[in-house]
Chain A
Amino acid sequence: MAKTDMKISVRNLHKKLGPRQVLRGIDLDVAKGQSLVVIGGSGSGKSVMLKCIIGLMKADKGEVVVDGRNIARHTEADRRFMTKQSGMLFQGSALFDSLRIWENVAFRLLHAEKSSRKAAQKKAMECLAQVGLAPEVGDLTPSELSGGMQKRVSLARAIASDPQILFFDEPTTGLDPIMADVINNLIVERVKALGATAISITHDMASARKIADEIAMLYQGCIIWRGKPDEIGNSDNPMVDQFVNGRAEGPITMSVKHV
């Protein structure tokens, strides 16, 4: 496929953190309006990869091309270009705990886009409704909500400015299966409604199957497999097999010390 069809192209991305070479040459392409899910074990560098793409971390080497513009040099303008059109749901929700829920959702409108408080509150309430939360929730603070509700608020905050690119970092981790499925449905629905391009990270296979147009697997800092969700069951890749079936025995070894 020609490079220009791609909303996001990642080329040869490297990142070292402390003594550890976390990313060793990531290559990824996501076409406009597609939803890519990246799976991989805990600590395999999924969050680091996402942070390098969105511009929260500076990659050591490689390119991140968004709409034909390489933003990996990480200048002020690059970061503004990226944040302007993207939204992210963080692994731990990362809601501002000193602010009320509606102020969280409307944060960008209030402080970056200079909307009036009234207009921002109205938009926040709409977004809360879109993720299935009652208007009363708007006046609570994050600590008064359950984990599942916090994820919903975080989703509402990410979509509040109608972004073209969405990033989801383990949106369902730590939720019960039913709530996880609710979040998955919301993600699929919202991404479709916005026509957005999405990159999600998860180690929850049910979630991956549900929200992915394509799945890629990250292992030891590289993308080792990529395919459609229905192909992942017979990928002919022993590492993917082991991950999908959740076996402790196989080519992937967790460094667990046996006593």
Chain B
Amino acid sequence: MNIFAATGNLTLDALRETGRVSIFAGQGALAWFSGPFYWRAFFGALVRIGFTSLPVVGLTAIFTGAALALNIYDGSLRFNAETFLPQILSVSIVRELGPVLAALMVAGRCSSAMAAEIGTMRVTEQVDAMSTLAVDPFKYLIAPRILATTLVLPLLVLTADIIGIYGGYLVSVYALDFAGPVYIQNISEFIEARDVVTGLIKAGVFGFLISVMGCYYGYTSSGGAQGVGSATRTAVVASAVVVLASNYLLTSLFVQV
């Protein structure tokens, strides 16, 4: 086979997969609006995805905020701009690091869990059994997870924003001799609603994409334990990649140069 044919086939495969994922995402979202909505499954997903992700998202945020404070201080010293540390730190966290890091943590934790759960149900025929019991697996398994992740990720990101800024505060006040009240005042005067809101919109989009990836690769998995294993792996990699790629696209929409 020549290299052009190979490249062409790869491209076609990628396009086909993108098409299938898009249709899946559309069906998942449509399922919110038609027929029964399974509240119990939705709240279960909300707790599993949101509540249990709090510790890991919090830890990520506080250490990142702390390290960021040191780096910004060191960098801005070179042109005597270290007093702007709180402003730079907060805008970096709220716009970029909070959404992206929280989304990556959730991608690792939750899209893999979704792919494994739904994939196991698929290969053990539990998904088929559900259909024969007159319950649409799309409505029972997919729609609640996608909706829950889309709604809960902005909340997690808001938490990550606050904890991340607090991490920066700890370092600034206890290691870099900033005055606590000044740090907080600088940030509250500087940060605009736009900064926070764009970050939260990003988070919602990331949540949607992460859960679509987890559900899609689980739902379409086949071939026993190995199939579920590779579905899980693909789901994590795919959701991390779409988070990073869509992050750039969204940022370029929000930041008009």
Contact = CB atoms under 8 A, between A and B. Distances in A.
Given A111-B36, A111-B38, A111-B140, A56 B126 contact: no
A107 B124 contact: no
A108 B133 contact: yes
Contacts of B128: 51, 56, 90, 94
Contacts of B38: 111
A231 B121 CA distance: 41
A108 B134 contact: yes
Chain A interface residue number, banded: 20 to 34
A112 interface: yes
A46 interface: no
A84 interface: yes
A79 B134 CA distance: 9
Candidate in B126, B128, B134 with the most chain A CB atoms within 10 angstroms:
B134
B135 interface: yes
Interface string A71-98: 0000000011001101110111011111
A54 interface: yes
Nearest to A80: B134
Candidate in A96, A107, A111 with the most chain B CB atoms within 10 angstroms:
A111
Interface in A28-76: 51, 54-56
B125 interface: yes
Nearest to A117: B40
Interface in B130-170: 130-135, 140
A92 B124 contact: yes
Nearest to A82: B132
Chain B interface residue number, banded: 10 to 19
B129 interface: yes
B125 A90 contact: yes
Contacts, number: 56
A54 B129 CA distance: 11
A94 B134 contact: no
A193 B94 CA distance: 65
A157 interface: yes
Contacts of A91: 125
A91 B135 CA distance: 20
A233 to B, nearest CB: 34
Contacts of B126: 94-97
Interface string A113-152: 1100000000000000000000000000000000000000
Interface in A213-254: none
A157 B36 CA distance: 21
Contacts of B134: 80, 83-84, 108, 112-113
A87 B132 contact: yes
Contact of A56 (B124, B132, B135): B132
Nearest to B139: A111
Contact of B135 (A51, A86, A92, A111): A111
B157 to A, nearest CB: 28
17 contacts: A54-B132, A56-B128, A80-B134, A84-B134, A88-B132, A90-B129, A92-B124, A94-B129, A96-B130, A97-B120, A97-B126, A98-B117, A107-B130, A108-B134, A111-B133, A112-B134, A113-B134
Interface of A: 51, 54-56, 79-80, 83-84, 86-88, 90-92, 94-98, 107-108, 111-114, 157
Interface of B: 36, 38, 117, 120-121, 124-126, 128-135, 140
